[in-house]
C-alpha cells in the first residue's frame, strides 16, 4: 500500500462512494485515494475488469471517476477539494437528445 | 548478425495492414514469408486510421478501383471470420451499410450524380448506393441535426476495429509460420543472384521475391528494384469521445463512427502538412463543429483523445500496384484504403503475387498512368 512521504499541512475532506477521505491540500484526487488505500476506481466498460491508478500524469485514462456528478474525470489530474463527491464508475455514460441521460 | 541469412520465398517489407494482409495471404498460399518491419516511431497509417470498410464513392475516377473495392467488401465477411477463427479475436467487423450525410443541396446533387454515374460499374450486380431523404434518415438516425438534408446510403459499406484487425493479422500470419521481424528498418533492397536481398538494422535477409508494402517508406526503396511509387502525404485528424453506452449510430458514416466498445470516432480532415502527424485545435474545432451539426447529442460526450495520421495517397487517390518489369519477382503495393482492401489483398492479390507475376491483372493500377498524365 502506498505511504505518504510528506505529512502535515492543511487538509480537505471529500467522499468516495460515501466514505470520507482526508486529503492534504494540493493532493490530486488520485493521490488522496491512494493514500487512503483505495485502488479500485472503476470497472472497465469493455471487459468489466477493475481499473485504478496507473500513470498518475494524465496519459492513460485509467483512473476515471465520477466527480460531483460528472463521469470520466481523471482523478490524477483533478485537485482534491473540500466537499467533493467522488464515485467509482460502473458502465459507460449514456446520452439522449437532451444531453447526458 | 548474420544468422538472419535465411532464405524465404518472399520478403514483405512493411508490417502494417497492407503488408500483414499480404504476408498472411502468401503463407496461406504455401509460401515461407518473412515480414521486415520498422520501429514504432514511423508513420503507421495502420494505427491511426478510421476503420471504415467503405465502397460508395471509391473509384469514381477509376472504375477498376471501384470494382476492386467492391470485390474486397464482398470478401470481407469471410475474411473477418477466418482471421477470427485463427486468432480467437473478434475484429468487431460489421456490415450494416454506411451513410454519407449531405448538408447542402449542392452536396446532395453531386452524390446523386455520382451514384448515377456508377450505377452499372459492377455490371448486373447492383452498385448499391442510393440517395435517402431526411424523412428516411430520421428513421435510421434519431437525433440528427437540422442541417442534414439527406444522405447517400451504401449497402456494401461497413466498419471494423482497425487495431484489432492489425493485431489479428499479425497473430494469424505468425500462426501460419510467417517470420515477423520488428525494428528491422530496411536500408536497401536489391537484386541478389536469382532473388533479392534486404539490408536491415537486424541483418541481411534474402528471398526469391520481394514485396514493398511500407506505405510512405516504399517510395525510397522502389527505384532500386525498377519500381515506381509516386505517393503523397495527406494528414487526417481524428477525435475520440469517452465510451458511451447509448448506441448513437446504427451504422458508420463517412465522418462519424461508433466503435464496438462505445467510443465515437470523429473525423476527418484532409490537410497538406507533409509528414507531420501533429494535431491542432483549429482543425479539430472544425471537425467537432461539423460533427455537432450532424449530431447535436454528441455535445454531451467528452473528447478524450485526438491524433493526426498521414494517409498514403497516389496522385489520383487510387491504388498503385507495380510488378517490376526490370526485376521480375519484385512488387510494390500502396493504397490509401488498406483496411477496405485488406480482404482482397489477403485473399486474392497475395495469390497473384505468389504466382510470381501479375499477368494481365491490375493493369489499371500500374504507375505508368501518372507518366501519361504528365506527358499531356
CB contact under 8 A, A93 and B244: yes
Q: 0.95 exceeded by the pTM?
A: no
CB-CB neighbors (< 8 A) of A61 in chain B:
304-305
CB-CB neighbors (< 8 A) of A100 in chain B:
300
* CATH code matching the domain that covers A11-90, chosen among 1.10.1060.10, 3.10.20.440, 3.40.50.2300, 3.40.470.10: 3.10.20.440
Preferred mutation among A55, A95, A101 to probe B, highest tally of B CBs within 10 A: A95
Find, among B290, B288, B314, the residue nearest to B302 by Cα. Answer: B288
Would you say domain B232-313 falls under CATH 3.30.9.10?
yes
| pLDDT in the model for residue A90 | 85
d(CA A64, nearest CA chain B) in Å: 10
| pLDDT in the model for residue B372 | 62
Dihedral sign (CA B334, B340, B345, B349) = negative
Instruction: Select the residue of B142, B246, B262 nearest A101 (Cβ to Cβ).
Output: B246
CB contact under 8 A, B304 and A61: yes
| pLDDT in the model for residue B6 | 59
Instruction: Select the residue of A92, A97, A99 nearest B244 (Cβ to Cβ).
Output: A92
| pLDDT in the model for residue A8 | 84
Q: In this structure, what are the phi and psi dihedrals at residue B55, rounded to the nearest 5 degrees?
A: -110, -50
> What is the band of A91 on the pLDDT scale with cuts at 50, 70, 90?
confident
Domain map (residue ranges) of chain A = 11-90
| Alpha-carbon span B169 to B167, nearest angstrom | 5
| pLDDT in the model for residue A17 | 97
Tell whether the model's pLDDT for residue A40 goes beyond 90.
yes
CB-CB neighbors (< 8 A) of B142 in chain A:
97
Domain map (residue ranges) of chain B = 7-49+163-230+316-375, 98-155, 232-313
| pLDDT in the model for residue B376 | 40
Once rounded to an integer, what is the mean pLDDT over residues B344-359? 97
Share of chain B above pLDDT 70, in %: 97
Decide: residue B113, CB within 10 A, 0-12 exposed, 13-18 middle, 19+ buried.
Answer: exposed
Tell whether the model's pLDDT for residue A63 goes beyond 90.
yes
Tell whether the model's pLDDT for residue B43 goes beyond 50.
yes
Once rounded to an integer, what is the mean pLDDT over residues B229-239? 95
B296 to chain A: closest CA residue:
A97
Q: What would the grid cell of residue B101 be?
A: 450525410
Tell whether the model's pLDDT for residue B351 goes beyond 80.
yes
Distances (CA, A) of B367 to A63, B72, B190, B231, B314: 50, 21, 20, 10, 9
Q: What would the grid cell of residue B49 be?
A: 486510421
Calculate the CA A91 to chain-centre distance: 15
CATH fourth-level superfamily of B7-49+163-230+316-375: FAD/NAD(P)-binding domain (3.50.50.60)
B242 to chain A: closest CA residue:
A72
Once rounded to an integer, what is the mean pLDDT over residues B175-196? 97
pLDDT tens column, B48-71: 999 999 999 999 999 999 999 999
CB contact under 8 A, B246 and A96: yes
Instruction: Select the residue of A61, A94, A97 nearest B244 (Cβ to Cβ).
Output: A94
Decide: residue B133, CB within 10 A, 0-12 exposed, 13-18 middle, 19+ buried.
Answer: exposed
Once rounded to an integer, what is the mean pLDDT over residues B314-328? 97
- CB B70 within 8 Å of CB B238: no
Tell whether the model's pLDDT for residue A5 goes beyond 50.
yes
Q: What would the grid cell of residue A18 be?
A: 460515501
d(CA B157, nearest CA chain A) in Å: 25
| β-strands B186-192, B179-181 pairing | unpaired
Find, among B84, B55, B85, the residue nearest to B67 by Cα. Answer: B55
Amino acid at each position: 500500500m502506498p505511504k505518504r512521504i510528506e505529512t502535515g499541512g492543511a487538509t480537505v475532506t471529500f467522499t468516495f462512494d460515501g466514505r470520507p477521505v482526508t486529503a492534504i491540500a494540493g493532493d490530486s484526487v488520485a493521490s488522496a485515494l491512494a493514500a487512503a488505500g483505495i485502488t479500485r476506481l472503476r470497472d472497465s466498460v469493455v471487459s468489466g475488469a477493475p481499473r485504478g491508478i496507473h500513470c498518475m500524469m494524465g496519459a492513460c485514462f485509467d483512473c476515471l471517476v465520477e466527480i460531483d456528478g460528472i463521469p470520466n474525470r481523471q482523478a490524477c489530474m483533478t485537485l482534491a477539494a473540500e466537499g467533493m463527491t467522488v464515485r467509482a464508475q460502473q458502465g459507460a455514460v449514456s446520452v439522449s437528445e437532451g444531453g447526458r441521460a | 548478425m548474420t544468422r538472419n541469412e535465411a532464405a524465404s520465398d518472399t520478403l514483405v517489407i512493411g508490417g502494417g495492414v497492407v503488408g500483414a494482409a499480404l504476408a498472411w495471404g502468401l503463407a496461406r498460399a504455401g509460401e515461407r514469408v518473412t515480414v521486415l518491419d520498422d520501429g514504432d516511431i514511423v508513420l503507421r497509417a495502420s494505427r491511426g486510421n478510421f476503420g471504415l470498410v467503405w465502397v460508395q464513392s471509391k473509384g469514381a475516377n477509376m472504375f477498376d478501383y471501384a470494382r476492386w473495392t467492391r470485390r474486397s467488401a464482398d470478401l470481407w465477411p469471410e475474411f473477418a471470420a477466418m482471421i477470427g477463427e485463427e486468432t480467437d479475436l473478434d475484429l468487431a467487423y460489421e456490415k450494416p451499410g454506411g451513410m454519407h450525410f449531405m448538408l447542402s443541396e449542392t452536396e446532395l446533387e453531386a452524390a446523386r450524380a455520382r451514384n448515377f454515374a456508377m450505377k452499372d460499374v459492377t455490371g448486373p450486380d447492383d452498385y448499391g448506393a442510393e440517395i435517402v431523404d431526411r424523412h428516411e434518415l430520421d428513421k435510421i438516425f434519431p437525433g440528427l441535426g437540422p442541417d442534414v438534408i439527406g444522405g447517400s446510403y451504401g449497402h456494401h459499406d461497413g466498419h471494423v476495429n482497425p487495431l484489432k484487425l492489425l493485431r489479428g493479422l499479425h497473430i494469424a500470419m505468425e500462426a501460419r509460420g510467417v517470420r515477423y521481424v520488428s525494428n528491422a528498418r530496411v536500408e536497401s533492397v536489391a537484386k541478389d543472384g536469382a532473388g533479392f536481398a534486404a539490408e536491415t538494422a537486424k541483418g541481411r535477409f534474402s528471398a526469391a521475391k520481394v514485396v514493398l508494402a511500407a506505405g510512405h517508406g516504399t517510395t525510397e526503396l522502389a527505384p532500386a528494384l525498377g519500381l515506381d511509387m509516386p505517393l503523397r502525404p495527406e494528414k487526417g485528424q481524428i477525435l475520440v469521445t469517452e465510451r458511451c453506452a447509448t448506441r448513437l449510430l446504427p451504422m458508420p458514416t463517412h465522418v462519424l463512427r461508433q466503435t464496438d466498445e462505445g467510443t465515437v470516432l470523429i473525423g476527418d480532415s484532409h490537410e497538406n502538412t507533409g509528414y507531420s502527424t501533429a494535431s491542432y485545435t483549429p482543425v479539430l474545432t472544425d471537425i467537432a463543429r461539423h460533427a455537432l451539426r450532424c449530431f447535436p447529442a454528441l455535445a454531451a460526450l467528452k473528447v478524450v483523445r485526438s491524433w493526426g495520421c498521414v494517409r498514403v495517397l497516389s496522385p489520383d487517390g487510387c491504388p498503385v500496384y507495380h510488378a517490376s518489369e526490370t526485376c521480375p519477382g519484385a512488387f510494390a503495393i500502396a493504397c490509401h484504403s488498406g483496411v477496405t482492401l485488406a480482404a482482397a489483398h489477403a485473399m486474392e492479390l497475395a495469390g497473384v503475387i505468389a504466382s510470381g507475376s501479375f499477368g494481365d491483372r491490375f493493369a489499371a493500377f500500374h504507375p505508368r498512368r501518372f507518366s501519361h498524365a504528365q506527358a499531356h
